[in-house]
Amino acid sequence: MKIAILTTQYPSDENHYAHTFVHRRSLYFKEQGYDVTVLVPHKSCQPYEFEGVEVIQDQASNLCRLLERFDVVYFHLLNLYPQPWKNGALLYNHIIKNKIPSAFYMHGSEVQSISKSRNFDHQNNLKQILRMVYKDVFFMPQMKRIVKKLHANGTRFITPSHWMHYEAMCQLGYSFEAEIIPNGINTTKFDVNELVDNKKMLCIRPLNSNKYAVDIAIRTMSFLPSDFTLDIYGKGPKYDEYINLISSLGLTERVKIHSEFINNNDMPNLMAKYSYFMSPTRMDAQGVSMCEAMSCSRVVISSNNTAIPEFIDSGLNGILGDSPEDLAENILNVENDKSQKSIIAKEARKSMVNIDNEVTLSKELVILNALNSK
């Protein structure tokens, strides 16, 4: 079976971080013996290979001419743009017109408006207002029409959580069935045998959006005793804002920001040094880094919202809370009960084995094979 994966960006030697969750799928499908090609809309024809995966970058109209070569296409964050050369709508419409078998994995942003779901970063300046108008007025109505037509053509939809499925239907104003398959976790790589017993907390987050709730992680520290520490690893334009927040709360000695990206391969060794992994959020369809920390048997702390409770049962395999004060209280309850702390770490690991890459990606392949056999 020849599989085309359609996405807006993909890892390269220059940028290892672009849609790594898509690359994991490409590698797995190839390991299972399938022919995989990634198609990325681009201003000019620039094909390349990354870790054995063929990637074709070209204008959207040129990529359309390639689609009949494949048995099935798989959408992963293929976005819509006003510029014709990178507008994913051309590819969606070509697939609809020619009834090419397809699957659509809904990660979140491709089916969410800013005003209803992603207004946590909105600011009253011209750039942000134009961004919201583009997404809500141009993007969303087009995506609603595309999803309806894909559904009518027999496209199979997949989402990482029940919350994301419900959210997508609410945002699009359209009901459709979807398979719930979380993004898989490499539990072989993310495997730390023993939970170190300390009061050190780790947070690995981009510093570019309020979505990642780094401010909540910092504020939680102000409600914890002075022997708790927090190390934040990440880069982005909100660095100065968070440094000022740390200073204003008198946490300079206990909360440090390390302005660097951590390679995914290096994360398990870093996580091994900490008991706790701080991963609060204002909105998430799953929380992959959170799940990777759980796979490493860390005690993960996150927010009691959106899809997070589908992956964390508070007090059993992690800690949830509704506010910084609530999170701090729950952390102290666990820290003061070493038996519970140990149980949470073990249960966290067990729950992630259930969504190991082998488990989730084999389910995705079942769907792709079923489309191909029609």
For residue 364, pLDDT over 90 is answered with yes
Give the confidence band of 293 by pLDDT, cuts at 50, 70, 90.
very high
Do 301 and 335 touch, CB atoms closer than 8 A?
no
Residue that wins the pLDDT comparison between 368 and 19: 368
Q: Are residues 320 and 368 in the same domain?
A: no
pLDDT of residue 2: 98
Structural domain includes residue 190: no
Q: Distance between CA 118 and CA 253 in Å, rounded?
A: 33
What is the total count of domains within the chain?
2
Quote the percentage of the chain above a pLDDT of 70: 100
Judge if 150 and 231 occupy the same domain.
no
R_g over Cα of the chain: 21
Residue 327 lies in a domain: yes
Quote the pLDDT of residue 84. 94
Which residues have a Cβ under 8 Å from the Cβ of 360 and sit 6 or more positions away?
A: 181, 182, 183, 184
Question: 191 lies in a domain?
Answer: no
**pLDDT for the residue numbered 216:** 98
The one-character DSSP state at 212 is: G
E strands, 8-149, are 35-41, 48-50, 53-58, 72-76, 102-105
The CATH code of the domain that includes 110 is 3.40.50.2000
Provide DSSP, 149-165: HHHHTT-EEEESSHHHH
Together in a domain, 240 and 104: no
Question: 116 pLDDT exceeds 90?
Answer: no
- 47-60 pLDDT, tens digit each: 999 999 999 999 99
Number of Cβ within 10 Å of residue 77's Cβ equals 18
Are 148 and 170 in the same domain? yes
219 and 137 in one domain? no
> Is the pLDDT reported for residue 118 higher than 80?
no
Q: What is the pTM of this model?
A: 0.94
Confidence at 374, pLDDT banded by 50, 70, 90 = confident
Same domain, 13 and 157: yes
**326 in the same domain as 222:** yes
Identify whether 193 is part of a domain: no
C-alpha to C-alpha distance for 356 and 12, rounded to whole angstroms: 25
**Is there a single domain that holds both residue 100 and residue 213?**
no
Residues 167 and 205 in one domain: no
Beta-carbon contacts of residue 59 (< 8 Å; ≥ 6 apart): 41, 42, 43, 44, 45, 84, 85, 86
Residue 262 and residue 150 share a domain = no
**pLDDT higher at 17 or 78:** 78
CA-nearest of 320, 353, 355 to 334 is 320
User: Which tokens hold the place of 58?
Assistant: 């070209």
Give CA torsion, residues 80, 82, 86, 88, to 10 deg.
30
What are φ and ψ of residue 297, in 5° steps? 60, 30
Q: Is the pLDDT of residue 253 over 90?
A: yes
pLDDT band per the 50, 70, 90 thresholds, residue 162:
very high
Does the residue 337 lie in any domain? yes
Mean pLDDT rounded to a whole number for the chain: 95
Domain range for 327: 200-353
Distances (CA, A) of 266 to 155, 190, 261, 292: 37, 10, 10, 12
User: Which pLDDT value is given to residue 18?
Assistant: 84
Residue 146 has which token pair? 């595309």
Residue 68 within any structural domain of the chain: yes
Residues 237-246: tens digit of each pLDDT = 999 999 999 9
Q: Is 136 in the same domain as 70? A: yes
Model pLDDT, residue 207: 95
Nearest Cα to Cα of residue 282 among 310, 302, 311, 299: 302
Task: Give the pLDDT confidence score for residue 114 in this predicted structure.
Answer: 86
Does residue 152 sit within a domain? yes
Q: Tell me how far apart the alpha carbons of residues 261 and 200 are, in angstroms, rounded to a whole number.
A: 19
Residue 362 lies in a domain: yes
CA 129 to the chain's CA centroid: 25
- Indicate if 174 and 221 belong to the same structural domain: no
